[in-house]
Structure 1
Amino acid sequence: MKLRYFVLLLSFSLGLVWGAFAQSGKKFTLVIHGGAGTIKKENMSDELEQQYREKLTEALQSGYHILEKGGTSLEAISVSIQVLEDSPLFNAGKGAVYTNDGKNELDASVMDGKTLNAGAVAGVTTIRNPVEAAIAVMEHSPHVMMAREGAELFAKEQGLEMVEPSYFRTERRQKQLERAKDAEKDRGMLEPAEYNDFKFGTVGAAALDQHGNLAAGTSTGGMTNKRYGRIGDSPVIGAGTYANNATCAVSATGHGEYFIRSVVAYDISALMEYKKWSLEKAANHVIMKKLKERGGSGGIISVDQRGNVAMPFNTAGMYRGYVKEDGTIVVKIFKD
């Protein structure tokens, strides 16, 4: 009898240990980007490179802490993107570029891979963290996209932090606008390829949580010197952002017009779903072949339902990084 009780107790204890191990062994992944473009090591000081690496690391750590505790992929991408939005280093939020008339107009989107719900805002000027507004649109409205004054009114009603337009103004972006205008004086209105000199830039994140759910989000200040209320791919679901638990989560960065025409983010998912391609094969095919052949430049970050990561780009560099359940943070900038 004693032996029987001992065996039962031992079995119960082993069950508890195994349960804890299984829980701690659940996979999760977070991958982020801070924009792609003509990013070359020879054009960047060691000090500036270190600043970028530190901020990308901070964004990954913020999201990792959410995922490690069992938080959702949506929560993780939100906090990671907000870290980048609050930094003047990146073309989103605080570091947004200027329009032709000297304003900062912001776009953002998110998508939940479990429900396929999505939210986006476009052309906003007073919302501190546009990614939060995109989530609010998804969770608290029947709509997918809101723009300009209407999006700002909705964000205010949702209790999000609002700021004066001057919050987004930085000397660095002001000088970029001046250079773009000077170039137009010399060459006329720039051709699409020439905008590589005036980085489009974007920030984004994609994540797989311990519950097996995917999510993606993207935020941007758009294109330096943009006119006429131009909106790129970042707030367009299927172009700049896409997530589906059956395939992958994707956030894009680059020349938005090409990403919209090619429906880049969804195209990667579709290749995985219909052709049964791996994430790496689908992502590389879309970015390094299809997009490039059409004249589009940029890249994506992505994660699939197994936690695999793909980060292809066809430009000189892309601010990017990822972290998995073991906590090892990987940050890259150049083609290395």
Structure 2
Amino acid sequence: MKLIIHGGFFSESNTNHEVKVAKQQALKAIVETGYAYLQHHTAAETVVYTISLLEDSDLFNAGTGSQIQSDGRIRLSAALMDGRTQRFSGIINTEDIKNPIQVAEKLMLYDDRVLSGEGALAFARDNGFNYYNPETPQRRQEYEKKLNDSVRLGTVGCVALDAAGNIAAGTSTGGKGFEIPGRVSDSATVAGNYANAHAGISCTGVGEDIVSGAVAAKIAVRVTDGMALAQAVDKTLAELKPYNGFAGVVALSASGEVYHADTHPYMVWASHEEQVSFFE
């Protein structure tokens, strides 16, 4: 049983030392809690549980504390993929909910498994997800000061390998901040989130670059075809270099390989096997 998570890049927001330490400590606590949960739950259940913890922390750009878009509104996206069933579900640009990953989980039971905007919100309300405002004072202050001169990066993600050898991956994001309303990130696509019987991948970074590189799905295909996980990740990220693509990856393979990499340091991450490892 193994678990790896990410919390985006340090450049996603305030990058002072205190924030860096807080993010590292939060990831360490969350990966430990998620790993304990994995002992008695499936990979997919664990991914949803762990990402919900990440969404509930205002240190990250997902759920509570998400970036505000150019029209002053917050829109959330999230996806879940179960490598055992090969089912992918997600929501795109949905407002006023607390845990988008849990809505994605609910959609796993339906034929129409990727919803956006008003349709996703109506589905969430019909299934008991009540109104919630994910805005925090820091994000409002950033928006009002129009701090949009630098790229804002970061999502949260989780990949789990359970006791039965099944893999699942999930990713959740509040977007890049100050984007055009309606912009779709990679997080709720197979470019940013993918799992099959051989590998699971969650991405973070610039969504457009990740979609252009079909990153998560390409890594999974390469592992399926026999390539080692680290080699598959490194080869795929190297293919982003011609357009200076910005991406980070956390990944697991069915054989137990655990790997993380980024094109522009530093992605924040943590993993749990027999002991906790995290970015220092």
Q: Give yes or no for TM over 0.5.
A: yes
Q: Corresponding residue for 1:295?
A: 244
1:215–1:77 distance in 2 versus 1, CA, 3 Å: same
The AA in structure 1 aligned to 2:121 is: E
Aligned to 1:311: 260
Map of 1:242 onto structure 2: 194
1:30 corresponds in structure 2 to 3
**Structure 2 residue corresponding to 1:54, chosen from 16, 25, 45:** 25
Give the match's secondary structure for 2:203.
strand
* Residue 278 of structure 1 pairs with residue 278 of structure 2: no
Deviation sequence 1:86-135 (CA, Å, 0-9, x none): 11110000010000011110000000000100100011112210000011
Determine the structure 2 residue equivalent to 1:8.
none
Q: Residues 38 and 315 of structure 1 are in contact (CA less than 8 Å); yes or no, is this contact kept in structure 2?
A: no
| Distance change (3 Å), C-alpha of 1:147 and 1:239 | same
- Residue 329 (str. 1) matches residue 276 (str. 2): yes
User: Structure 1 residues 181, 332: closer, same or farther in 2, change over 3 A?
Assistant: closer
Shift in Å at residue 39 of structure 1? 7.2
**C-alpha distance in 2, partners of 1:179/1:152?**
29
- Tell me, what secondary structure is at the counterpart of 2:168? strand
In structure 1, C-alpha distance between the alignment counterparts of 2:142 and 2:240, rounded to whole Å? 26
Tell me which amino acid in the other structure corresponds to 2:131.
Answer: V
**Residue identity opposite 2:36 in structure 1:** H
Contact preservation (8 Å) 1:91, 1:221 = yes
Q: For 1:124-139, what aligned pairs fall within 5 Å after superposition?
A: 124-139=94-109
Residue 44 of structure 1 is matched in structure 2 by 16
Shift of 1:295: 2.2
- Shift of the alpha carbon at 1:158? 1.8
Query: What SS does the aligned partner of 2:92 have?
Result: strand
Matches within 5 A, 1:29-178: 29-36=2-9, 38=11, 43-45=15-17, 47-69=18-40, 71-139=41-109, 141-160=110-129, 162-164=130-132, 167-178=133-144
Cα drift, residue 177 of structure 1: 2.8
Deviation at 1:227, TM superposition (A): 0.8
C-alpha contact 1:36 1:313 (8 A) present in aligned 2 = no
CA spacing shift, 1:212–1:182, aligned 2, 3 Å: closer
Regions of 4+ moved over 2 Å: 36-41, 47-50, 174-183, 292-295
Shift of 1:152: 1.3
Equivalent in 320, 328, 336 of residue 269 of structure 2 = 320
One-letter code aligned to 1:38: S
Could you tell me the percent identity over the aligned residues?
Answer: 31
Match of 1:216 among 162, 169, 174: 169
Q: Give how far 1:44 is off.
A: 2.2
Q: How many residues align?
A: 280
Bigger radius of gyration, 1 or 2?
1
Taking the TM superposition and a 5 Å limit, the aligned residue runs for 1:186-225 are: 197-225=150-178
- Are residues 83 and 182 of structure 1, via their aligned partners in 2, closer, same or farther at CA, if it must alter by over 3 Å? closer
Aligned-partner SS, 1:311: strand
Q: For each residue in 1:245-304, what CA deviation from the matched residue of structure 2 results, as whole angstroms up to 9, or x when unmatched?
A: 1x2000000110111121110000111223x210000001111x1122232102110000
Runs of 5+ in structure 2 lacking a partner?
none
Residue type of the alignment partner of 1:49: K
1:3-34, Cα deviation, whole Å (9 max, x unpaired): xxxxxxxxxxxxxxxxxxxxxxxxx1000000
Measure the CA separation in 2 of the matches of 1:264 and 1:291.
9
Give the residue type in structure 1 aligned to 2:276: I
Partner Cα separation in structure 2 for residue 100 and residue 40 of structure 1: 16
Q: CA deviation at 1:55?
A: 1.2
Q: Distance in 2 between matches of 1:269 and 1:145?
A: 21
Aligned to 2:34, what secondary structure does the other structure show?
A: helix
The separation in 1 between residues aligned to 2:48 and 2:223, in whole angstroms, is 25
Q: Residue 3 of structure 1 aligns with which residue?
A: none
Name the CA distance, whole Å, in 1 between partners of 2:37 and 2:167.
14
Give the distance between the partners of 2:74 and 2:255, measured in 1 at CA.
Answer: 38
The unaligned stretches of length 5 or more in structure 1 are 1-27, 184-196
Residues 1:290 and 1:176: Cα distance change in structure 2 (over 3 Å): farther
- 2-side partners of 1:181 and 1:61: how far apart? 34
